[in-house]
Amino acid sequence: MNLFAYFHDKIAAEIAALGFDLDTSRMSVEPPRDPAHGDVSANAAMVLAKGAGMKPREFAEKLRPRLARLDHVIVAEVAGPGFINLKLDNAFWYARLGEILRAGPAYGDSTAGQGRTVNVEYVSANPTGPMHVGHGRGAVVGDALAALLHKMGHVVVREYYVNDAGAQVDALARSVHLRYRQALGETVGEIPDGLYLGDYLIETGAVLARRDGKKWLGCPESEWLAPVRDFAIEEMLALIRADLDLLGIAFDVFSSERRLVRAGAIEQAIAELEQQGLIYIGTLEPPKGMLPEDWEPRPQTLFRSTAFGDDVDRPIKKADGSWTYFAADIAYHWDKHKRGFADMIDVWGADHGGYVKRMQAVVNALTHGKATIDVKLCQLVNLSDGGQPVRMSKRAGNFVTLRDVVERVGKDVVRFVMLTRRNDQTLDFDFAKVVEQSKDNPVFYVQYAHARARSVMRLAAQHFGANEIDAATLSRGPLDLLADADEIALVRQLAQWPRTVEGAAQMHEPHRIAFYLHEVAASFHALWNKGNADPGLRFVVESKRDLTRARLALVQAMAFVVASGLKVIGVTPAEELR
């Protein structure tokens, strides 16, 4: 249960019961910034007083006595310009604790998404080589976002768009053909400009040589290009899938650009736009201040994206008459919508930022405003090792790959660290730091809290029968023995989890989960240490079995919430850290 949504409904009902017919959707019910102000804070009076023809404080005073009589409310106060703050009794928090224990790691699951379909497209790295660390960030952000939306009750499809139709896969084919000739004993010398240099293609060329022998030697490119390209793309996708697998990421759908092109999807999409009068032939102004060397005015086929707030209209055909990448992307996003997605989320690298407006324009036009598209731009990842920057020379083909990083520090560390910044902030990733076992390291810190909780449960198992301390039994236990203010505060914090999930899902901000978990872990570590100072506050007090079981309930609930959050992030909760 999202307790704030619960009180929102209760308060709305009381407003209706007072005889007001007001739109309560603008009313927010939230935790007050200062806990001293209570547990729940509503701005109802400020938002609604005008419609009721009253002053905010007057409205609040009228509502206050009714809210004071609600179940579990011990105090209702009017504060400041007209906030109504509610303080809740401990019984309310004991009920939440029981709820967490019954739900387990499913706590926080919501039906708020109402089964509405969401397509999350992420990674979509060109199938020309192994993934690098920047791709890894997008992969984690997209995957966690998908998990979050799923937890919210959305039907989520995780999708990878394979750019297998452009010039870069031809360059790939030529590069592989070169390595293939090399594998068959030819001396190829310097790799020509425009081809891929990476050593990983040596193996790909050798595999092709083993499979097809000398079949592609001595014949014109027109004969070998297509088959070698198909082979190379398959090989590269296999490479990428293996990299993703290391991170525990699997996609539901791989969408092929080439297939769309072949099916005539571009022509169809452009025809639709044409029908709306959004396609025309025109000449673009040169970009000011940054003039390309060979600039000359040229009439082009353009999409009128300025009609939807873009800065200039965008070309959909190249000079040679072939479609631009943008044209294919138009078809692709229309295809997504036609496959039944009302909402689309694309996770891109920040270098694609200039592309966002035109994509939104297209989706807007093609779906007549019925579909939404949100683009999450991920900023750069700066790799370093003990403070020294790690060079990532892609040109030399020996750059640090995602695989290198995951193999060195582990999947869990990579996934968590990628979410310790908002997606639009650059992220520093230091090898030495992220494997450090200290409170410097948020991954470790959160894992340590979970491991500590499991350790307590293991210890407790020595004093209790297993059936006395399972979650279901603990949930029925005498929870009202929890009386320490910090214990109640932890329950209160755990009870914020459903709201945290809903907020992060609505805002498409998975990093909030990582920050929330860090806060929960901090509270738990603090509580643990109170047991060091005062043995009476330790979780396991052998002489007081009922009190111990009440505290074990709290410990177990904390572990469940952490596990629930780590599941969204895709990190395995640690049973112990040794």
Partner RNA sequence: GCGCCCAUAGCUCAGAGGAUUAGAGCAGCCGCCUUCUAAGCGGCAGGUCGUUGGUUCGAGUCCAACUGGGCGCGCCA
Region 404-423 residues binding RNA, contact defined as CB under 7 A:
420-422
> In whole angstroms, what is the distance from residue 359 CA to residue 328 CA?
11
> In whole angstroms, what is the distance from residue 565 CA to residue 107 CA?
9
In angstroms, what is the minimal distance from the CB of 334 to RNA? 17
Cβ proximity to RNA: between 220 and 354 the closer is: 354
In angstroms, what is the minimal distance from the CB of 455 to RNA? 4
Binding test (CB under 7 A) with RNA, winner from 9, 65, 69, 81: 81
> In whole angstroms, what is the distance from residue 196 CA to residue 201 CA?
8
* Region at 441 (left for phi over 0; alpha for psi -120 to 50; beta for the rest): beta
Find the part of the chain contacting RNA (CB under 7 A) among 66-74, 130-138, 354-362, 407-415. Answer: 354-362
Q: How many CA atoms lie within 13 A of 490 on its CB side?
A: 28
> In whole angstroms, what is the distance from residue 423 CA to residue 3 CA?
28
Binding test (CB under 7 A) with RNA, winner from 14, 143, 159, 257: 257
Q: At what angle do helices 167-183 and 200-212 cross, to 10 degrees?
A: 70
455 near RNA (CB under 7 A) = yes
By CB under 7 A, the count of residues binding RNA is 105
In angstroms, what is the minimal distance from the CB of 354 to RNA? 3
Q: What part of residues 363-392 is at the interface with RNA (CB under 7 A)? A: 377, 379-380
Q: If you ran DSSP here, which 8-state letter would residue 543 be given?
A: T
Cβ proximity to RNA: between 33 and 368 the closer is: 33
In angstroms, what is the minimal distance from the CB of 189 to RNA? 25
9 near RNA (CB under 7 A) = no
- CB 416, CB 442: distance < 8 Å: yes
C-alpha closest to that of 14 among 90, 59, 58, 66: 66
Find the part of the chain contacting RNA (CB under 7 A) among 183-191, 365-373, 390-398, 451-459. Answer: 451-459
Binding test (CB under 7 A) with RNA, winner from 89, 212, 374, 428: 428
The helix (run of H) or strand (run of E) holding residue 178 is helix 167-183
Cβ proximity to RNA: between 119 and 163 the closer is: 163
| Phi and psi, residue 91, nearest 5° | -55, -35
Structure tokens at 259: 């297939």
The CB density around residue 219, as the number of other CB atoms within 10 Å, is 10
Binding test (CB under 7 A) with RNA, winner from 186, 351, 407, 546: 351
In angstroms, what is the minimal distance from the CB of 319 to RNA? 3
Structure tokens at 172: 């790939």
485 near RNA (CB under 7 A) = no
Q: What are the beta bridge partners of residue 117? A: 155
| Phi and psi, residue 254, nearest 5° | -110, 115
In angstroms, what is the minimal distance from the CB of 177 to RNA? 19
In angstroms, what is the minimal distance from the CB of 85 to RNA? 5
In angstroms, what is the minimal distance from the CB of 187 to RNA? 29
Binding string, 130-169, against RNA, x = CB under 7 A?
---------------------------------x-xxxx-
In angstroms, what is the minimal distance from the CB of 456 to RNA? 5
Amino acid letter, 281 = I
- HEC readout, 282-315: EECCCCCCCCCCCCCCCEEEEECHHHHCCCCCEE
In angstroms, what is the minimal distance from the CB of 535 to RNA? 5
Binding test (CB under 7 A) with RNA, winner from 191, 284, 342, 481: 284
427 near RNA (CB under 7 A) = yes
30 near RNA (CB under 7 A) = yes
Cβ proximity to RNA: between 386 and 535 the closer is: 535
Binding string, 285-324, against RNA, x = CB under 7 A?
-xxxxx-x-xxxxx-x----------x---x--xxx---x
Q: If you ran DSSP here, which 8-state letter would residue 212 be given?
A: H
In angstroms, what is the minimal distance from the CB of 219 to RNA? 26
Binding test (CB under 7 A) with RNA, winner from 355, 403, 404, 410: 355
Q: What part of residues 486-545 is at the interface with RNA (CB under 7 A)? A: 499-500, 502-504, 506-507, 509, 511-512, 515, 518, 522, 525-526, 528-533, 535, 538-540
In angstroms, what is the minimal distance from the CB of 244 to RNA? 18
Find the part of the chain contacting RNA (CB under 7 A) among 94-102, 230-238, 350-358, 397-405. Answer: 350-358
Q: What part of residues 45-64 is at the interface with RNA (CB under 7 A)? A: 46-47
> In whole angstroms, what is the distance from residue 3 CA to residue 107 CA?
13
Q: What part of residues 172-231 is at the interface with RNA (CB under 7 A)? A: none
Cβ proximity to RNA: between 318 and 408 the closer is: 318
C-alpha closest to that of 235 among 204, 203, 209, 205: 204
CA triple 203-209-212, angle to 5 deg: 135
The CB density around residue 368, as the number of other CB atoms within 10 Å, is 8
C-alpha closest to that of 161 among 251, 255, 230, 237: 255
Q: How many CA atoms lie within 13 A of 225 on its CB side?
A: 10
